[in-house]
Amino acid sequence: MRIHTGSAIAAAGMLMLSGCAWDIDGTAKMPNQGDAFAKALQQQYLERAKYERHEEDWISVDFFTSRAQLAAKGQPPALQMPSQRHLEKDVAEIGSGYQRLSTALAAGAAKVAPEACARSQAWFEHWMEQSEEGHQADDIAWTRAEFLKAVPDCVVAPAPKPVAQANQAGEQVWRIFFPFDKATLSNEAKTFVDRIVAAYGNQKPNAVTVTGHADASGTNQYNQALSERRANAVVKALADKGVPSTVVKEKAVGESNLPKPTADGVKEPENRQVTVTFQK
């Protein structure tokens, strides 16, 4: 929104006293110390600040530039809550948008889709800023539309469905998949463990090998530890259901021996798995 001259002078004086962050060009030159999400967020906030500079809305320029600076320092600000704005328009829809985006971010979507999540956050906050002002219907509709265009891509890809199959040696292999960077069994995976336990009771294999995997998107050391946590989660679940520990052999291979070969750094859902193999 364009602030009238008198208001702009008053806003400028207020912000100068508090230490304003209007240096958009300087902020753009700040080396980003964060991850891919922080880098994308720095750029997205700067774009919002440039737009508000054109509108001569100095308070909003300060808001977006300050947040860009935090992102550049590797401290991306949390998504602004609707309660932090005085909203009279689009209240219910903004609340729904906040719930959708905050849930995705809490689930780790920013690691999986940093660009989309950064766009979603910046456009959501710009939508709230425009809605709070409430004077320019076109700008409200524009920022809302840009948020709704970005947010569907700010998601954590669902893990593949668990599967049971035989390997080349004829052994029964059960594959349990995990979300990105997670080692906790989903409700679906827990139900699948029940199937494994029932099959164990029927087949009575001599050994059960539990092997944890991770995809190649992190460091070798991190992925090794992640695959160990995943294997531990399955071993514990089997033990809790009565599979004796004497027949269970646990191992973790990290990002080595990928079930679906990929280049280093690739996020591949099929490689985030634990295999449970029945051996006669």
Q: Are residues 149 and 68 in the same domain?
A: yes
Rounded distance, CA 250 to CA 242, Å? 16
Residue 237 belongs to what domain range?
163-279
Q: Are residues 146 and 176 in the same domain?
A: no
Q: Are residues 147 and 190 in the same domain?
A: no
Rounded distance, CA 150 to CA 90, Å? 18
Q: Taking the CA atoms of 53, 54, 60 and 64 in sequence, report the sign of the dihedral they define.
A: negative
Query: Any idea what the CATH number is for the domain that residue 227 is in?
Result: 3.30.1330.60
The answer to whether residue 90 is domain-embedded is yes
CA distances 204 to 36, 185, 189, 201, 279, Å, are 48, 24, 21, 6, 9
Mean pLDDT, residues 33-46 taken together: 96
pTM, entire model: 0.58
In this predicted structure, the answer to whether residue 20 has a pLDDT above a threshold of 90 is: no
Mean pLDDT, residues 33-61 taken together: 95
pLDDT: which is higher, 16 or 56: 56
In this predicted structure, the answer to whether residue 1 has a pLDDT above a threshold of 60 is: no
> Is there a contact between 159 and 178 (Cβ–Cβ < 8 Å)?
yes
The answer to whether residue 158 is domain-embedded is no
| pLDDT tens-digit readout, 111-124 | 889 999 999 999 99
Q: Are residues 53 and 137 in the same domain?
A: yes
